[in-house]
Structure 1
Amino acid sequence: MKKIHLLLLKSFIRPFIVTLLIVMFVLLMLFLFKYIDDLIGKGFQWYIILELMMYNSATNVAMALPLSVLLSSIMTYGSLGENYELVAIKSAGISLRRAMYPMMIVVLVLSIAAFAFSDYMLPVANLKYYSLLYDARKQKSADLLPENIFSNRFPGYSIRVKRKDPDGQTLRDIMIYSKGKLETNQVVTFAKSGLMYRTKDDLYLVLKLYDGVRYEEDAGDEGYRPRQQLRRFRFKETEQKLSLEDFTIHRTDENEFRNASAMMNLRQLQHYIDSANKEVDSNVNVNYSLISPYIKYTTVPAKSANIKKPIPADSIKITTVSEKANVFNNALSEVHQIQDVLKNRTDRHKETSKSIRRYVMEYQKKFTLGAACIVLFLIGAPLGAIIRKGGLGLPVVVSVIFFLIYYIIGTIGEKSAKEGDLSPLIGAWIAIAVLFPIGLFLTYKAATDSALFDADIYKRFFKRFSLRKTKAV
């Protein structure tokens, strides 16, 4: 029995690791394709891109792990069925359920590890990833001096380069406008050619200019004429040093992102949900105290120390049109006052309720990741035993279909819960609730050796059905 368990474990672990790496690589490529325009051409150091890819890989575990469990379980039991190893196991008196026990233990361990990862490591990875991605997308392009365009990317300068050589560093026909003390373009520099390079510390961009002339305008001695003097300098070679401070990545304080739901663990999410619920309850009490003074007639009790006998409403006589108009105008003004008081508070209540639903969804997603691994294993293992096909052919197609069903249902439930159409608890678990009975059904069919995907059975069934129909005619 132990040898059979070791055989099953060895057959499962290798395809699981391979499929996990493949899925992580595919998701990483999707990330690069999505943000390639925000990352390329900005002069990032190689370790910035590598760090961003590493954090993105950590955030993709929530999608890659369930798909890897599903695909590897189908491949494992499909390969065992294709090589008649499952037949040998059953002939030895071991049922499919007993053969699934060691695999079930491994999947349970994976689900517990997935829960720990989503609670402790995933919030940190999300915080690092989204903060770094925000700074990277905000970074200016490293193409500092495009051709035939006046570039204003350096404060106080406007630079135009007519043409660049293929090496990207040699410049032709350069024109530089620089601002003087009066914050106007008082200095103009022309050069036939130049060389552009960065300093070793990447703090400055140096423009080495050749064969040019510089014109400077100054206010002169009197000071009230801004362009009284004009000086001209001819040069064979000169240098212009420009600061690159605005073109180096500046990290935003990570504390500005910590209030997002994806950056919190269970304890922090529960604390926020409790605080938000208390705020909603207190706002309801405040709203009642704000509205009650405007409801004048219903707040007077039937017996009061000040009013011995309340005046019946039907005893008030309104005869003239002006009196009726005054009554309606007063009532309308009071309604407008109540609407003005409640408008901002209503919008705040809606935003707070939406935030509560979003945080409750994130709280439940910590548990659904591990549950998804178990449910998808209950689907994948019996499916592999039924279809009896290993490798990356039919198992990939079947696993992708079931994973798409899981992902689409989960996405619809999550969006509906965030909009308030569903309870956050239902929205988080609806995909698991739909697929779990399917997993139990497939497990039962595989345990009873049902030929669920045998095409010949369905052909014979439709053939008999068509023969009965012809006889009836």
Structure 2
Amino acid sequence: MKKIHLLLLKSFIRPFIVTLFIVMFVLLMLFLFKYIDDLIGKGFQWYIILELMMYNSATNVAMALPLSVLLSSIMTYGSLGENYELVAIKSAGISLRRAMYPMMVVVVILSIAAFAFSDWMLPRANLKYYSLLYDARKQKSADLLPENIFSNRFPGYSIRVKRKDKDGQTLHDIMIYQRGALQINHIVTFAKSGLMYRTKDDLFLVLRLKDGVRYEETPSDNNYFQRQKLTRFRFKETEQKFPLSDLTIKRTNENEFRSASMMMNLKQLDHYVDSASRSVDSSVNTNYTLIRPYIKYFAVPDKWAAIKHVAPADSNILKSVNEKLNSYNNAAIEVKQLQDVLRNRTDSYKDSSKSIRRYIMEYQRKFTLGAACIVLFLIGAPLGAIIRKGGLGLPVVVSVIFFLIYYIIGTIGEKSAKEGDLSPIVGAWIAIVVLFPIGLFLSYKAATDSAVFDMDLYKRFFKRFRLRKAKQPV
């Protein structure tokens, strides 16, 4: 390997790793801002939050990787152009295209790795992430005893706390109702103050009550008199334990999420599309079988030309008004029955077709991730050589603009394909098809040392244009 190629590789790998981590961190912060209300205050263990963040980072690779390739390529070639290293490379007789070969090889290897990641790792990460996020959002709040509200979080108990101190553990004016077998409040406890804490194993919540009274109603021991007994018990300090089994996150079976398109690899997606297409075709044939009894027609012989005389239609078939009304009503009833039969089957056909388009889009997305890395590199490398600016200033602005163009076109194509306005293949590849000619154009301009972004060139052009317009006779 030549020293120039080694220099280019070192100049690319370092900013690529840095920008990848920066973009992943930004996307992770967006995830936390979006779901902060669903995660905070539910008593999760720290490793549950960490696991959720790890799976979310894996799902963000599909967006972070192309942006990192674009930004790092602009930074690499912009820094080389700013330090006149590209000029030295060209003066040594090495063209820009030849200097891009080792970088292109690295990006192609990266694209192959992105395809393998999207086909093998990403479905598993999506399955873990969305199933865990579903269970986390479904989990109840860990604020067990809110102020001035009867809390029914513990089975068989209704607890109200009038006021809590700032530490969240010291309670005042506590009222506890305990229900019996018949769901009747037969034990009532009042306490002026108390302390709330959890056991070390997080299995129970302990309420240490102070200065209170307890009332309990129990059936009488005398079978002849069914009146209940009331027991009053005053205490200076007592404790009550409540199980915290409901606070432990309950995991849903992951097999319930496996039918989603994001949880499948290429083989599974191909099998689903094939079986769903066969089911739709079978449904169409079934529709024809259902509506055929409603269609009445007269069979005309093939040799109709041999028929010498056709009897005219009898206009007096429906002789009375009542017969005509009955015929119209029967026809309307048959039409309504046919509409009812087809309406449900039409909705089912639309849902099945939309599902097939969505799975085809997911199938194509496995390939577009790697293709996006190549296309965005073809845009970023010559763009950096043209603007000749390194660092995180202008390259970040330019890369964000092009990535927004790529993302907006891809989103519009994806939604149009899911609604049936575009073919799923066209909707998946439209952003790549639009940006690929731009990459080729910028590569050609960079190879020919064209001043595409030289503002002085445009200023001189408009200045000559204004002078020429001013010299024209009125």
Contact persistence 1:375–1:435 (CA under 8 A): yes
Q: 1:222 to 1:423 in 2, by over 3 A?
A: farther
Output the amino acid matched with 1:124. R
Per the alignment, residue 160 of structure 2 pairs with: 160
Tell me the amino acid that sits aligned with residue 377 of structure 1. Answer: F
Matches of 1:310 and 1:295 in 2, distance apart? Answer: 23
1:324-353 Cα deviation digits (max 9, x unpaired): 111111111111111121221111111100
2:183 paired with 1:183 = yes
Rounded Cα–Cα distance in structure 2 between residues aligned with 1:197 and 1:245: 15
Give the corresponding residue for 1:390.
Answer: 390
Aligned partner letter, 2:85: E
The answer as to 2:87 corresponding to 1:87 is yes
Q: Tell me, in whole angstroms, the C-alpha distance in 2 between the residues paired with 1:317 and 1:350.
A: 43
Give the match for residue 457 of structure 2.
Answer: 457
Letter of the 2:364 counterpart: Q
C-alpha deviations, 1:10-64, integer Å up to 9, x for none?
Answer: 0000000000000000000000000001011111100000000000000000000
Q: Which residue of 1 aligns with 2:246?
A: 246
Which moved further from structure 2: 165-174 or 422-431?
A: 165-174
- Report the more deviating stretch, 141-150 or 253-262: 141-150
- Tell me: CA distance 1:227–1:430, structure 2 relative to 1, closer, same or farther (3 Å): farther
Structure 1's 92 and 179: CA in aligned 2 closer, same or farther, altered over 3 A?
same
* Superposition deviation, residue 220 in structure 1: 3.0
- 1:283 matched to which residue of 2? 283
**Residue 194 of structure 2 corresponds to residue 194 of structure 1:** yes
Q: How high is the TM-score relative to the length of structure 1?
A: 0.95
- 1:208 CA displacement: 1.6
Query: What residue in structure 1 maps to residue 337 of structure 2?
Result: 337
2:46 and 2:67 map into 1 onto residues whose CA distance is: 30
Structure 2 vs 1, CA of residues 300 and 168 (structure 1 numbering), >3 Å: closer, same or farther?
Answer: farther
**Aligned mates of 2:349, 2:132 — CA distance in 1:** 32
Structure 2: gaps of 5 or more residues: 304-308
Seen in structure 2, the aligned counterparts of structure 1 residues 313 and 68 have a Cα distance that, compared at 3 Å, is farther
Q: Which position in structure 2 is the counterpart of 1:48?
A: 48
Q: Is the 8 A contact 1:219 1:225 kept in 2?
A: no
2: distance between equivalents of 1:121 and 1:310?
73
* Distance in structure 2 (CA, Å) of the matches to 1:226 and 1:19: 79
> Which amino acid counterpart does residue 22 of structure 2 have in structure 1?
I
Task: Show the counterpart of 1:355.
Answer: 355
Q: Which is worse superposed, 335-344 or 283-292?
A: 335-344
Would the aligned equivalents of 1:218 and 1:226 in 2 still touch at CA under 8 Å? no
Change (3 A) 1:89 1:315: same
Letter in 1 for 2:184: T
**CA–CA distance in structure 1, aligned partners of residues 378 and 462 of structure 2:** 30
Distance 1:345 1:288 in 2: 11
Q: CA deviation at 1:302?
A: 7.4
Query: What is the match of residue 422 of structure 2?
Result: 422
Aligned counterparts, 1:22-421, within 5 A: 22-221=22-221, 228-297=228-297, 317-421=317-421
- Name the residue aligned to 1:441: 441
Structure 1 CA distance, aligned partners of 2:225 and 2:254?
A: 51
Q: 1:417 to 1:320 in 2, by over 3 A?
A: same
In 2, the alpha carbon distance for the partners of 1:81 and 1:19 equals 20
- 8 Å CA contact retained: 1:292, 1:299: no
| 1:226 CA drift (Å) | 8.5
Task: Tell me the amino acid that sits aligned with residue 383 of structure 1.
Answer: L
CA contact (8 A) 1:302 1:310 kept: no
Query: How many Å separate the matches in 1 of 2:50 and 2:101?
Result: 40
RMSD: 1.9
Q: CA–CA distance in 1 between the matches of 2:357 and 2:455?
A: 46
SS at match of 2:241: strand
Q: Distance in 2 between matches of 1:312 and 1:156?
A: 85
Aligned equivalents of 2:68, 2:299: Cα separation in 1: 65
Task: After TM superposition, give the deviation of residue 296 of structure 1 in Å.
Answer: 2.2
- Percent identity reads 83
**1:306 matched residue in structure 2:** none
User: What TM-score, normalized by structure 2, do the two folds share?
Assistant: 0.95
Residues 323 and 396 of structure 1: CA distance in aligned 2, closer, same or farther (over 3 Å)? same
Q: What is residue 306 of structure 2 aligned with on the other side?
A: none
Q: How many residues are aligned here? A: 468
Deviation at 1:166, TM superposition (A): 2.6
Moved more, 60-69 or 227-236: 227-236
Q: What per-residue deviation string (whole Å, max 9, x for no partner) do you get for residues 155-211 of structure 1?
A: 221111122223222212110011112211221100112121112222211112122
> Deviation at 1:250?
0.3
Letter in 1 for 2:44: F
Question: 3-state SS of the aligned residue for 1:151?
Answer: coil
What residue in structure 1 maps to residue 10 of structure 2?
Answer: 10
Flag the 1:187–1:227 CA change in 2: closer, same or farther, 3 A: farther
Distance between the aligned counterparts of 2:134 and 2:316, measured in 1? 66
Larger mean Cα displacement after TM superposition, 333-342 or 350-359: 333-342
